[in-house]
């Protein structure tokens, strides 16, 4: 009999515990669903969490899932209350007061646990309220990530944006920017995982921007949709509608995957990743450039040059590509080829500083040959004639490169390298007035 009484007592204790769990969860749900919260509600909510937690050991899967969610969502409820207070009316950084990257990650996990459980059970008890809560808090969370990024807390910013994506898989833009922040923070493992996920979902980031001119401000403004813009056009406040398609981010994604793999010493994996992308999109110029950048990174200049020329077939006026070919040729001491590319870059953009300066530097390389031979000559009549010829050729070379050097200085007057080189050329050409004027600016 004693054994039966003990079993009965235990059963009664479990029963009371279960009832208590249910009561506490009902109390949490009641406060959670309130449209308007008070300080008293938050105090009661936290106290109920404390009372309920010890009872969760014997709880059902359902009760554990919901309790964990209610516990994780506490900062959101506190922010929801904070948003109603007058002192926070203009505080656009309110999220930083209640959230941390860690508790946002906890919310994301528990949001998905509830949604997965309700999808499995077929009973959508909290799914709609979760979506409503996300809609309300998402702008604040994104702004919080931006604030963290501005403070150079890149890993934390990446964590927040990844959590936002976890809660709304339709917003893959947040995953892309999470990856970018992770790269900036040196968290290459997370960045690589994010980029692989972007690759898996075939994210391109392409979208259409809907612009129209504000008749009052005479400034172009963007709209969330064509329908929204059409309403403003119809009202008469805007005019001159235009659509703008943004470029694909696919090339940047594969480029960063490749660069991270190279950084981790996995060069062959990097090549394979880009080759796979090129196979699927052979005419994508961004991917051609991605592959070219990879081969530049591993110093395979022949393959780089081949790929850049392929890209130039698609976009012959890409000045950066033309300039880079000049740099590679110059580094390989292919002077004539480098000069050709630098001059071609300047035909595309005469105000390209690097092309102007590098072309001048390239032409200056001949000066060493002139000076070396001139210093070896004696004082015979033959040597004197040779000296005069070399001096004339040297001055001719200085005169030829001078316009490029002057243009470089004009474009970047604070650049010490351009200033000092230009002074040396003025001095060599005995352009005393210009030399003194430039020296006075030091």
Looking at residue 183, its pLDDT comes to 95
Q: How far apart are CA 440 and CA 437, in angstroms?
A: 5
* Model confidence at 88: pLDDT above 90: no
| pLDDT recorded at residue 294 | 81
Which pLDDT belongs to residue 21? 63
Q: What is the pLDDT of residue 169?
A: 94
357 touches 405 (CB < 8 A):
yes
Q: pLDDT band at 17, cuts 50/70/90?
A: very low
Q: Output helix, strand, coil percentages for the chain, rounded to the nearest 5.
A: 75, 5, 20
Mean pLDDT along residues 15-24: 60
Reply yes or no on whether the pLDDT at 270 is more than 90.
no
Assign 168 to helix, strand or coil: coil
Local confidence band at 245 (pLDDT 50, 70, 90 cut-offs): confident
pLDDT at 295: 84
List the single range of 1-5, 210-214, 270-274, 343-347 with lowest mean pLDDT.
1-5
Report yes or no: 243 and 260 within 8 Å, Cβ to Cβ: no
Confidence band for 108, pLDDT divided at 50, 70 and 90: very high
Pick the residue with more confidence: 11 or 304? Answer: 304
Give the least confident one: 187-196, 233-242, 367-376. Answer: 367-376
pLDDT of the residue at 403: 94
Q: Which helix (H) or strand (E) holds 299?
A: none
Tracing tokens 């702008």 back to the chain, one arrives at 139
Summarize pLDDT for 411-423 with one digit per residue, the tens. Answer: 998 888 888 999 9
Least confident of 47-56, 105-114, 119-128, 245-254: 245-254
**H or E stretch at 323:** helix 319-331
Would you say 405 and 425 are in contact if contact means Cβ atoms under 8 Å apart? Answer: yes
pLDDT, residue 18, reads: 53
Res 305 pLDDT > 70: yes
**Scanning the structure block, which residue is given the tokens 């994508």?**
284
Task: Give the pLDDT band (50/70/90) at residue 173.
Answer: very high
């Amino acid at each position: 009999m004693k054994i039966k009484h003990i079993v009965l007592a235990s059963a009664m204790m479990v029963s009371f515990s279960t009832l208590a769990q249910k009561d506490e969860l009902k109390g949490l749900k009641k406060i959670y669903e309130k449209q308007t919260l008070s300080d008293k509600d938050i105090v009661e909510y936290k106290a109920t969490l404390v009372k309920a937690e010890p009872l969760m050991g014997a709880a059902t899967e359902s009760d554990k899932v919901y309790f964990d969610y209610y516990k994780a969502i506490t900062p959101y409820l506190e922010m929801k209350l904070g948003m109603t207070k007058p002192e926070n009316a203009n505080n656009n950084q309110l999220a930083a007061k209640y959230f941390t990257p860690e508790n946002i990650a906890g919310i994301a996990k528990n949001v998905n646990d509830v949604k997965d459980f309700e999808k499995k059970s077929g009973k959508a008890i909290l799914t709609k309220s979760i979506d409503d809560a996300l809609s309300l808090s998402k702008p604040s969370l994104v702004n919080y990530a931006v604030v963290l990024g501005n403070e150079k807390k890149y890993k934390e910013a990446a964590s927040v944006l990844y959590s936002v994506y976890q809660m709304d898989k339709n917003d893959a833009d947040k995953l892309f920017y999470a990856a970018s922040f992770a790269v900036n923070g040196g968290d290459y493992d997370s960045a690589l995982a994010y980029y692989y996920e972007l690759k898996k979902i075939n994210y391109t980031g392409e979208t259409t921007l809907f612009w129209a001119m504000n008749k009052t401000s005479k400034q172009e403004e963007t709209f969330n949709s064509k329908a929204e813009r059409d309403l403003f056009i119809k009202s008469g406040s805007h005019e001159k509608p235009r659509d703008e398609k943004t470029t694909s981010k696919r090339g940047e994604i594969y480029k960063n995957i490749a660069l991270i793999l190279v950084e981790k010493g996995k060069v062959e994996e990097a090549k394979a990743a880009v080759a796979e992308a090129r196979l699927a999109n052979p005419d994508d110029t961004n991917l051609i450039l991605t592959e070219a950048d990879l081969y530049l990174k591993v110093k395979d200049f022949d393959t780089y040059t081949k790929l850049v020329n392929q890209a130039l077939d698609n976009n012959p006026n890409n000045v950066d590509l033309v300039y880079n070919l000049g740099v590679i040729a110059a580094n390989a001491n292919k002077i004539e080829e480098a000069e050709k590319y630098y001059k071609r870059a300047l035909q595309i953009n005469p105000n390209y500083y690097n092309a102007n300066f590098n072309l001048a530097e390239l032409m200056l390389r001949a000066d060493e040959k002139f000076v070396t031979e001139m210093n070896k000559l004696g004082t015979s009549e033959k040597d004197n004639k040779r000296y005069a010829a070399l001096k004339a050729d040297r001055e001719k070379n200085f005169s030829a490169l001078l316009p490029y050097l002057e243009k470089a200085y004009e474009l970047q007057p604070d650049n010490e390298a351009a200033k000092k080189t230009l002074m040396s050329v003025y001095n060599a050409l005995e352009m005393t007035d210009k030399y003194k004027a430039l020296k006075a600016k030091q």
